[in-house]
Amino acid sequence: MDMVLGIDVGGTSIKAGLFTPEGELLEERKIPTPALVSEAAYATVTGGIARILAAHDAVPEDVIACGLDIPGPVADDGTVGFLPNIQLDPEGLVSAVSSVFPRATVAFVNDANAAALGEMWAGVATEVSSYVLIALGTGVGGGVVANGKLVAGAFGAGGEIGHITVNREEPLTCGCGRHGCLEQYASAKGIVRLYLDECARRGVTPVEVEHATDTLSVFRALAGGDECARIAVQQMCDYLAQAMAQISCVVDPAMYLIGGGVAGAFATFAPELRERFSAYALPTCKDVRIEAASLGNRAAMYGCAYEALRLRGESVG
């Protein structure tokens, strides 16, 4: 029987999904790992996956494709760029996976790009060939799919939506070293900052915010009629709509999918976002659908599995 693996690579663990080639998730399992830079660490990964296979009466030779998603840039040719937040030797891990799963086509995919592909394989974009996923989380990531194919870019920066400049007057520096990036306003951290700044500007006491990315408290305040929360969310939607209008002029997607942790409040801010987008968008782009992504934190796991399977099809074809 043919099997497909999707491996979500994190700093201290992996999340491995076992799929059929048709996209059915058979099992998902979290496997704690050390830094993925040694043979012992690679063995932890492959051994854990082998146990998942055994639980389904499968063997390593049944794996025909293995995708790995990582929090860093991956270029069109599969080259992995700088990985600032994870200890990983890509070549070593690929070699280990290939030796244990000899039939498998192995692919690396950026995590946000993988999430976009996951929605095409098993989410709300199964019938859509051109769309953009925007992940609003600790930062702002994105994945662009055009004519059914991922746009990774020559240097792996395709989909870096969070670093579109939307405010050239911003004095604070973004993590990328520039100023006024979308990520500074539409990320969880950005929304909390907008709220606290508005409270300070008005001289009012904010609701209790537990940490720098606690958007839950901000949206609760909004539901309770907090004027500063309302303005903060309006500002977030305004900046996000500006970026989406620019993206539409280049990619012209049929749909935007809003994912990431902030998307839990999508129903709350969706009407505002759609209204602002319509005000900024080129007239021919105004009819784009703006929806919530559907696969949650499993999306990247689905997507990297799908990409490996697609690459296998190309190599066999």
Tell me: do 151 and 50 sit in the same domain. Answer: no
CA 2 → CA 45, 62, 172, 228, 299, distances in Å? 20, 5, 51, 54, 21
d(CA 226, CA 184): 22
- Type of residue numbered 202: R
Q: Which of 141, 155, 145 is nearest to 79 (CA)?
A: 155
Tell me: do 254 and 273 sit in the same domain. Answer: yes
Per-residue pLDDT tens for 141-183?
999 999 988 898 888 888 999 999 999 999 999 988 999 999 9
> Residue 311 is inside which H or E element, if any?
helix 299-316
Binning pLDDT at 50, 70 and 90, where does residue 317 land? low
Between 102 and 83, the higher pLDDT residue = 102
So what's the pLDDT on residue 86?
78
CA atoms within 13 A on the CB side of 101: 28
CA 271 → CA 124, 198, 241, 291, distances in Å? 19, 22, 12, 11
Say which residues have a Cβ less than 8 Å from residue 119's Cβ, sequence separation at least 6. Answer: 125, 126, 131, 133, 257, 259, 293, 294, 295, 299, 303
Q: Which of 73, 61, 62 is nearest to 26 (CA)?
A: 62
Domain that holds residue 103: 3-116+297-316
d(CA 291, CA 307): 23
Tell me: do 170 and 190 sit in the same domain. Answer: yes
Per-residue pLDDT tens for 217-267?
999 999 999 999 999 999 999 999 999 999 999 999 999 999 999 999 999
Tell me: do 93 and 153 sit in the same domain. Answer: no
Starting at the edge strand found earlier in the chain, the sheet holding 25-32 runs 25-32, 13-19, 3-9, 63-70, 105-110
d(CA 219, CA 299): 24
Is residue 46 one of the residues assigned to a domain?
yes
Is residue 100 one of the residues assigned to a domain?
yes
Q: Tokens representing 197? A: 């700044």
So what's the pLDDT on residue 292?
96
Per-residue pLDDT tens for 263-315?
999 999 999 999 999 999 999 999 999 999 999 889 999 999 999 999 998 76
Is residue 173 one of the residues assigned to a domain?
yes
- Type of residue numbered 240: L
Is residue 121 one of the residues assigned to a domain?
no
Per-residue pLDDT tens for 33-50?
999 999 999 999 999 999
Show the CA angle centred on residue 255, arms to residues 251 and 256, nearest 5°.
85
Tell me: do 14 and 96 sit in the same domain. Answer: yes
Q: 105 pairs with which residues across the strands?
A: 65
Q: Is 55 in contact with 29 (CB distance < 8 Å)?
A: no
Between 74 and 269, the higher pLDDT residue = 269
> Strands 140-146 and 131-136, how do they pair?
antiparallel
- Type of residue numbered 166: V
Q: Say yes or no to pLDDT of 84 above 80.
A: no
Tell me: do 289 and 303 sit in the same domain. Answer: no
CATH of the domain at 217: 3.30.420.40
> Residue 139 is inside which H or E element, if any?
none
